[in-house]
Chains A and B, each alone.
Chain A
Amino acid sequence: MEPLTFFLLVFGAAATAGALGALLGLGGGIIIVPVLSLLFGVNFHYAIGASIVSVIATSSGAAATYVRDRITNLRLGMFLEMATTTGAVVGALVAGYLPGRVLSVIFGLVLLHSAWSLFRSRHEDIPAGVEGSPLATRLCLHGAYVDPALGRLVRYRITRVPQGFGLMWLAGLISGLLGIGSGVFKVIAMDLLMRAPIKVSTTTSNFMIGVTAAASAGIYFSRGDISPFIAAPVALGILTGTILGTHLLLRLRGAAIRKVFLAVLMVTALQMIWEGFRGSIR
């Protein structure tokens, strides 16, 4: 294969990952890592380095639009970043001491359980009948946004703040420990526990994942895991893809996004369980 062909194919795969990631609040590592390592035989270290770059590019590229369109809940994101950043640091510190493979299986099963809850609410555009908690009021976490697909203003209230914060801490821990699945857990924490509308959950997750990834990007960069030749088509492809993904999010209904997310959630869960049994978790 010519290097130019490689560049264009990776650009295309990254654009797909960027579109999906911008729509679902994920980093795109779920696509980038297998494509690079299995399809093109890129060394695993470079694939992980490129995936970190893809998370940051998806986050900033998508959030630029969502913050401007006022769908992202900034305070919710910033408040929960306290949990994800500390969780990520603890995860990296204890990575050598905890059984990564066992945890991967456990968290995979947790995801499968969440998939069931999500399946039951798959027709829901926005959550109904949520009574906001006093703590969420104290933290100014309730919000509203204009949903073009529903053609109206959506007001929502946030609940179960401590539980959501706890799951966010775990999401950070998992990303520090295993390097995968952090966006999926963030969306679940906001959607299923704190009861934010799905579009608010995915866009706020998008806003947050860049910070979690930036915290660990420094070490990958100085270790030499971020190869310019591989990271360049990934970064450029992702940034292009997020333009498409942000347009999709505005047009699709919440229920449609829930179903796409459910499919990706199942894949991630099975991937984590599979990796745990096969033992390729670092």
Chain B
Amino acid sequence: MRTDQNHGDPIAPMTRMELAISVVLRWGVLVSGAVILIGILAFALTHRTGYAQVPPHDLRDLLAYHQNRGPGYFPTAVHEVAAGALAGKPYAIVAFGIILLIATPVVRVAMSVLFFLSQRDWLYVAITMFVLAVLLASLFTGVG
């Protein structure tokens, strides 16, 4: 049976799952926010994106949707982002922060699977695994 007896009893301390989920979300938000801030500060200070040179002072050009995006103006694949961020390219650092932000809810779902497993709450193991499977499938097949 369930071991998280505190569920639904707000007087009791947080269950391990609540603690783990709020920690994952908080750190996901803090770290991704910090990385995005570092990246955009690097762009503001150096006036370089690390990619094809859009004039940093031409706002209209910065807001336009370039048909030849991809490696031209900013990285759009995970490996390009990783390589660019390691090379200290400002836009790749921002993109890396955005990837961390997108990954946060996915990690949260994966975390809840593990905790329901540890509680042997098989109904919710099945429910959260189903959600994780749909999430990963749509992330990796590009549907959704």
Contact = CB atoms under 8 A, between A and B. Distances in A.
Chain B at the A interface: mostly helix, strand, loop or mixed? helix
**B: contact size bracket:** 35 or more
Contacts of A144: 8-10
B98 A231 contact: yes
Contacts of B98: 53, 221, 226, 228, 231, 235
Contacts of B17: 74
B135 A211 contact: yes
Interface string A1-17: 11110110000000000
Nearest to B33: A239
Given A215-B138, A235-B32, A42 B77 contact: no
Contacts of A211: 105-106, 108-109, 131, 135
Contacts of B101: 53, 56-57, 60, 235
Nearest to A75: B124
Interface stretch (A64-72, A121-129, A253-261, A263-271): A64-72
Chain A at the B interface: mostly helix, strand, loop or mixed? helix
A139 interface: yes
Interface stretch (A27-35, A76-84, A99-107, A189-197): A76-84
B36 A224 contact: no
Given A78-B124, A224-B70, A232 B36 contact: yes
A40 interface: yes
A3 B57 contact: yes
A274 interface: no
Nearest to A62: B25
Given A59-B105, A214-B102, A232-B40, A140 B7 contact: yes
**A: contact size bracket:** 35 or more
A228 B74 contact: yes
Contacts of A250: none
A56 B128 CA distance: 19
B143 A6 contact: no
Residue in A2, A41, A89, A217 with the greatest tally of chain B CB atoms within 10 Å: A217
A218 B142 contact: yes
Nearest to B41: A232
12 contacts: A43-B63, A46-B63, A59-B105, A75-B124, A78-B112, A85-B131, A88-B144, A153-B11, A218-B138, A222-B76, A222-B142, A235-B36
7 tightest A-B contacts by CB? A43-B65, A224-B69, A64-B25, A228-B94, A210-B105, A68-B22, A64-B26
Given A70-B14, A92-B143, A143-B8, 5 more contacts: A43-B63, A44-B65, A215-B135, A226-B98, A235-B98
